[in-house]
């Protein structure tokens, strides 16, 4: 049996899709085929509630058009549109924030999040509450590197995040680090060895979770809140989303 | 001084915009000008996470294009895109779920929500938690009338909701009712007199709150999480949302 | 239709009643008549649980004797006797702490409270929990100016509170300020412009909320926990409170 | 060493003071002198927020005038004025709701409260939250016997409460009963044997807690929130409460 | 790379070890070697806090003696001794309750637990709180089949649990089932197809989580609360546990 | 009537049993006989989850063999095995963490815990949540003196803990101190007078609570979760624990 995973990059920057796809492939099992996808519409990066809201149509289009995937990974740390994605996918959809936080909670007593922009810290805290992990999250720290500059100078990025993570562990008394941006995929191996604590990247974590859920043979419920949305007409440039 | 309020209907059904605008006008003060707006894109009604997510681009467009309003009312009980709306508005934006629940909490010890479809109950509970009112919300009850059929037979709608509200008060031990859909605007007066408890419609509640906040001279913070979103390119049919 | 609001000062200092009445008038709508009232019994200011408890008989007397008001504002940041007031009023009663906190929560992601004496900080936190806003309240800060000295030197008071508010915003990462004493009415306009964030005074906030609730035509429930108290004899100097 | 405990009945009905005093004596240690006190002012019984608020001046007067007690028991299940009492007492003050709930939590996994009037159920839930026991409290049940009729026919009262307690244990899945009124002192021994679970009366529970705290040699903090209230003038019939 | 997983049965009944080992093998990846282990000491089944406490020495012995495993699965739904196991393992340890609940939370909005004995329901609720999932857990239901009788008549067991699960979904409004006993491993496939909702068994869920965490290359922190315990002498029959 | 209390030291260090027994005697009433007991198996001190888990068999053996005690005190601040102990005791069992925290909560608004090793801080926070006192606990502070070195130099120990307690009161804004180790019994009297706030030792607090519960005539429920565990065979060195 081959398992097909689609990793959706909710922003429209193709180089980030490539990064994410590569990291997902690195951790997936032998029998897993990973495909990265970039939406045809939406923001170049996600750094505000506004960007996040406007990333959702594009990622929903990707999911609706994909009939091959056994499960999806949603590769933005805000987990944008996760409930809507689950309604239309009819297959498991794993958000990388949910995956990273739940994985970190298996390995230590509490974790600190190191993220990009300060203005997204509130969203990170909101997600800890959505997932019931507000107590395990000991702190959220913003390094204030814009998303698309993370890979400008990977050594500098690693150094900055290392410094923030060290400070977070000391200040928060935590024993694990969660990386708060899909653009940080690829960093955890080096950081883990430098810090001596588990460093969890959501793209990798969501990939193994999605693979695991498929292997368990589990499908989302076909009725209830996450059942397919009631069909209806849509208007204007969003008319193709109607059903 | 004249106060300008724009009441945004997040779905594309114009008759619902008319209903909402009328109800807002009914409760607004003497010096308030109320304008109802319908988006140019999106779903005909909002009955799923999918609909809710895809209603957001249209309502954000309305807000970005409106340079007259002193404040906005967002007239869907899911409060879709509220944070994004606050980022781009630079003026107060009041969601009707937040308004209805906070108003009900001023008048009684606890409230019950009577809403439309069962599948939206989880979203209603999520909102009680977002607003810190999960304890005051004693129950959420779905009458399972689709949104656009609410005004097919207004007497029958009133009778159904009256029955659900009576049952909710008894089952939940609550002493106020919150109506869980913008399409129920217009019902509370009769229901209040029939039930002997306050019945709160969010459109009316949000209108007086929006007016009040304007009268207090308060503007949202110009920095922090709700500051204007960082400018960036957008792609595809959503390119006009770029900045 | 004229709306009658009575603003009750729970302490016995008449100059404070005047200040409060003036602020309520400033923000009320065109068709609102505002009356300030001072109790005939109780403490000169409220700075402890003891003062707060002993302010309640006086304010209940004011409310019971007032047959004109459509709604009441209770103008002490501890919201003393709010449930008892609601039982005997049979009309809406809005406490200024509840009003200020709920209004602030409409405008920003979190707020900081700047109050008078350190010993009242616990009470402020208690109220955030009563109103479900403990998460939105990012901090409570005491400037340790006694209530009745707030208006000794209004420029100095403004300067002190400005300094505390600036520090609170930075330390708490909040984006709104709530003023934690009725005696601070009159300060928010200048402070808002100095700080660039909304500064909410409870007297003004409660006035527009009370007006709004009256305009919605909502009355408290006539049965349940806040129904009129069961009649019974009272003894001693409190005998007039019996029914 | 002799320990002096004063048991304050916050209502003005002397027969209830006698009942409470007797129950406190029954459980106190050999070296404890118990004195019951009735206030000179206030309601004949406490059955509303209004009664509760107006019971506080009388009980504060009792405490301020008592220079002998090593500790106080506050014998109304609403724990009225507990914080204010602690400020003026300078000695331990134990409320019977707090005592009953904390004692029940030592003996079983969860408890159900059986109280008098339905309208006080909200207050009971509030107290569970104040004391951090909302999770251990599995239910609150009102038998709707008015406070002063509890001892009209003690056999009937016992039978009614037995029936409510049985139902509560089954419906709530709890394994202990808390009696929600000082007027139920004297009932627990028979009820415990009839039910096979611990039945906790707050008067008895508060008495042994008060005695225990005295024996530990512990005094409340002399600074902080519960330090003596700042002195100030009081007006009108409450002028004697000024300092 | 071969991944070695040890699945520890915390009770001493070897047939249950066999069942668990088989289920873990069924879901593990191609490159995973699964070994089941039975302790040399402790209770034949775990049905009380007493049994649970006394199962811990045996499972700790298994873990300390196992130098091959890359990660451990702890196969009792009470997750007994999980923190202690993590301290001595120095490798990931996944409890089946944690695994089942976190997996269910990825697939639906809320889940119901179907467990064995009524007396273990409180423990199940405790674990939902430990893992931050008390809100997603919509109910806990006990079928009151003793642990060691689950496989006496597998068709009857399936029928009973099917009936309890159907009732749980309806009563709780949930959209997933968590099986609350390691002895229910093997049931989920049939139940899922019969119910139309995901049915999660903890043994399978913990196996794929353990495999995933190993594949991520993550190790628990080497310092902090879960670092190896400080060495010290032990006495009596437990002397071999000293270090 | 004579009351028999057994104070169980969960570690195997006899000098610590003596200390605990002496402190319990000091505060017990005139009619109370206190007996200290040391287990025959287990760790010399409890400083990890591992030690705590392995201390439970020994303390359960002590309780099962003791037919004289009316109630038990469990004298380790982790309250190890408390639920299991309650199942087998059939009489009240009071843990010292529960007792200390609940007693402190009667005397002040919030407390700080001063404990021994940093790695036990998480466990202390867990217990505050178990007992519903996470809000009243304002901080946990570790002095990092190993348990068995506390009485090496009692003056130095007192000085260190005094310094930590002073700092805790200032940093946390609390008004009571809870000592987080049975080995600190004997310190509170001096510390209370030095600090001017109540300092609560759990051994003393649990003793007066246990005595009080016996005096109330209360027994744990004979059915439900804490009823005697179901009998079954045990294997290996733990075979004597079978029933």
ipTM: 0.95
Chain A residue numbers touching B233 (CB-CB < 8 A): 43-44
Determine A/B contact with 3+ CB pairs under 8 A as the test: yes
Q: Cα–Cα–Cα angle for F49, F53, F55, nearest 5°?
A: 115
Task: Tell me which residue of B70, B73, B85, B88 sits closest to B27, measured CA to CA.
Answer: B73
HSE, side-chain direction, 13 A CA sphere, residue D242: 15
pLDDT given at position E148? 83
Contact present, D177 and D165 (Cβ < 8 Å): yes
% chain E with pLDDT above 90: 84
pLDDT given at position A1? 75
pLDDT given at position D21? 97
Tell me the whole-structure pTM to 2 decimals.
Answer: 0.96
Mutate to test the interface with B, among C28, C191, C212, C215 (most CBs of B within 10 A): C212
Asked if A235 and A173 sit in the same domain, the reply is no
Chain F residue numbers touching D188 (CB-CB < 8 A): 216
Q: Chains contacting E with at least 3 CB pairs below 8 Å?
A: A, B, D, F
Chain C residue numbers touching A121 (CB-CB < 8 A): 173
Which tens digit of pLDDT belongs to each residue from A133-178? 999 999 999 998 887 888 888 889 999 999 999 999 999 999 999 9
Angle between the N-to-C axes of helices D96-107 and D121-130, in degrees from 0 to 180, rounded to the nearest 10: 70
Contact present, B199 and B120 (Cβ < 8 Å): no
pLDDT given at position F234? 97
B6-21 mean pLDDT: 96
pLDDT given at position D192? 92
pLDDT given at position A148? 83
What is the chain E residue with the closest CA to F50? E84
What is the chain F residue with the closest CA to E43? F234
% chain D with pLDDT above 90: 84
Mean pLDDT, rounded, of chain C: 94
> What does the alpha-carbon distance between residue B84 and residue B81 come to, in Å, rounded to a whole number?
5
Q: Does pLDDT of F1 surpass 80?
A: no
Mutate to test the interface with D, among E120, E122, E124 (most CBs of D within 10 A): E122
Which tens digit of pLDDT belongs to each residue from F194-220? 999 999 999 999 999 999 999 999 988
Mean pLDDT, rounded, of chain B: 94
Which tens digit of pLDDT belongs to each residue from C211-241? 999 999 998 887 888 999 999 999 999 999 9
Q: Does pLDDT of E22 surpass 90?
A: yes
> Can you read off the two tokens belonging to residue E165?
């699960």
C172-200 mean pLDDT: 92
pLDDT band at F110 (very low <50, low <70, confident <90, very high): very high
What is the chain B residue with the closest CA to A237? B41
Q: Which residue has the higher pLDDT, C124 or B189?
A: C124
> Can you read off the two tokens belonging to residue F81?
């095995």
Asked if E137 and E153 sit in the same domain, the reply is yes
Contacts 24+ apart (CB under 8 A), C142-146: C142/C115, C142/C116, C142/C117, C142/C118, C143/C114, C143/C115, C143/C116, C144/C116, C144/C117, C144/C118, C145/C116, C146/C45, C146/C47, C146/C116, C146/C117, C146/D230
Asked if E14 and E45 sit in the same domain, the reply is yes
Q: Does pLDDT of E149 surpass 90?
A: no
Which tens digit of pLDDT belongs to each residue from F8-17? 999 999 999 9
pLDDT band at F223 (very low <50, low <70, confident <90, very high): confident
D23-28 mean pLDDT: 96
Chain B residue numbers touching C27 (CB-CB < 8 A): 215-216
Q: Does pLDDT of F27 surpass 80?
A: yes
% chain C with pLDDT above 70: 100
Q: Does pLDDT of D170 surpass 80?
A: yes
C37-47 mean pLDDT: 97
A191-217 mean pLDDT: 96
Which tens digit of pLDDT belongs to each residue from A226-235? 999 999 999 9
State the nearest Cα–Cα gap between B167 and chain D, in angstroms. 18
Mean pLDDT, rounded, of chain E: 94
Contact call for D226 and F108, based on CB within 8 A: yes
Report phi then psi at E72, rounded to 5: -120, 145
A interface toward C at CB cutoff 8 Å? 121-122
Mean pLDDT, rounded, of chain F: 94
B166-179 mean pLDDT: 95
HSE, side-chain direction, 13 A CA sphere, residue E223: 7
- Looking at the structure of chain E, the number of domains it has is 2
F161 sits in the region (left: phi over 0; alpha: psi -120 to 50; else beta) called alpha
Q: Does pLDDT of B148 surpass 90?
A: no
B95-109 mean pLDDT: 96
pLDDT band at D222 (very low <50, low <70, confident <90, very high): confident
pLDDT given at position E105? 96
Asked if B222 and B166 sit in the same domain, the reply is no
Q: What DSSP string describes chain B?
A: --EEEEEE-SSS-HHHHHHHHHHHHHHS-TTEEEEEE--SSEESS--SHHHHHHHHHHHHHHHHH--S-SEEEE-STT-TTHHHHHHHHSS-EEEHHHHHHHHHHHHSS-EEEEES-GGGHHHHHHHHHHTT-TTTEEEEEE----GGGTTTSHHHHHHHHHHHHHHHHHHHT-S-EEE--GGGTT-HHHHHHHHSS-EEEHHHHHHHHHHHHHHTT----SSSTTSPPPP--EEGGGGGG--
Beta bridge partners of A234: B43
- CATH classification at residue C177: 3.40.50.12500
pLDDT given at position C185? 87
E116-141 mean pLDDT: 95
Asked if D78 and D138 sit in the same domain, the reply is no
Chain F residue numbers touching A173 (CB-CB < 8 A): 121
Asked if B15 and B52 sit in the same domain, the reply is yes
What is the chain A residue with the closest CA to B14? A235
pLDDT given at position C152? 84
Asked if A22 and A40 sit in the same domain, the reply is yes
State the nearest Cα–Cα gap between D127 and chain C, in angstroms. 11
Asked if A90 and A104 sit in the same domain, the reply is no
Which tens digit of pLDDT belongs to each residue from E208-228? 999 999 999 998 887 888 999
Contact call for B109 and D122, based on CB within 8 A: yes
Asked if A61 and A179 sit in the same domain, the reply is no
Domain of D127?
A: 97-201
Q: Does pLDDT of C147 surpass 90?
A: no
Q: Chains contacting F with at least 3 CB pairs below 8 Å?
A: A, C, D, E
pLDDT given at position F84? 97
pLDDT given at position E123? 94
State the nearest Cα–Cα gap between C69 and chain F, in angstroms. 38
Asked if A169 and A210 sit in the same domain, the reply is no
- Which among F51, F57, F233 is the nearest to E57, CB-wise? F57
Chain D residue numbers touching E121 (CB-CB < 8 A): 173
State the nearest Cα–Cα gap between C234 and chain D, in angstroms. 4
State the nearest Cα–Cα gap between A115 and chain B, in angstroms. 14
pLDDT given at position D149? 86
Asked if B143 and B217 sit in the same domain, the reply is no
Contact present, B110 and B137 (Cβ < 8 Å): yes
Asked if C142 and C112 sit in the same domain, the reply is yes
A120-144 mean pLDDT: 95
State the nearest Cα–Cα gap between C122 and chain F, in angstroms. 8
Q: Does pLDDT of B1 surpass 80?
A: no
> What does the alpha-carbon distance between residue E123 and residue E156 come to, in Å, rounded to a whole number?
26
């Amino acid at each position: 049996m081959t398992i097909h995973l689609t990793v959706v990059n909710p922003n429209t920057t193709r180089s980030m899709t490539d990064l994410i796809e590569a990291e997902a492939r690195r951790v997936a099992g032998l029998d897993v085929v990973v495909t990265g996808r970039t939406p045809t519409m939406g923001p170049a990066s996600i750094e505000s509630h506004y960007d996040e809201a406007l990333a959702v149509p594009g990622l929903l289009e990707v999911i609706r058009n994909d009939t091959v995937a056994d499960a999806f990974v949603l590769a933005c740390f805000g987990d944008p549109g996760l409930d809507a994605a689950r309604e239309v996918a009819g297959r498991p959809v794993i958000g990388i924030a949910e995956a990273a936080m739940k994985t970190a909670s298996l390995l230590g007593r509490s974790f600190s999040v190191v993220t990009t922009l300060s203005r997204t810290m509130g969203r990170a805290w909101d997600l800890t509450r959505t997932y019931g992990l507000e107590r395990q999250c000991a702190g959220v720290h913003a390094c204030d590197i814009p998303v698309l500059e993370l890979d400008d100078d990977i050594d500098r990025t690693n150094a900055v995040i290392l410094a923030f993570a060290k400070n977070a562990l000391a200040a928060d008394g935590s024993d694990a680090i969660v990386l708060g941006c899909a653009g940080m995929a690829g960093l955890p191996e080096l950081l883990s060895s430098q810090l001596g604590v588990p460093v969890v990247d959501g793209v990798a974590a969501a990939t193994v979770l999605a693979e695991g859920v498929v292997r368990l043979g589990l499908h989302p419920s076909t009725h209830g809140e996450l059942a397919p949305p009631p069909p209806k007409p849509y208007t204007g440039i969003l008319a193709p989303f109607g059903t």
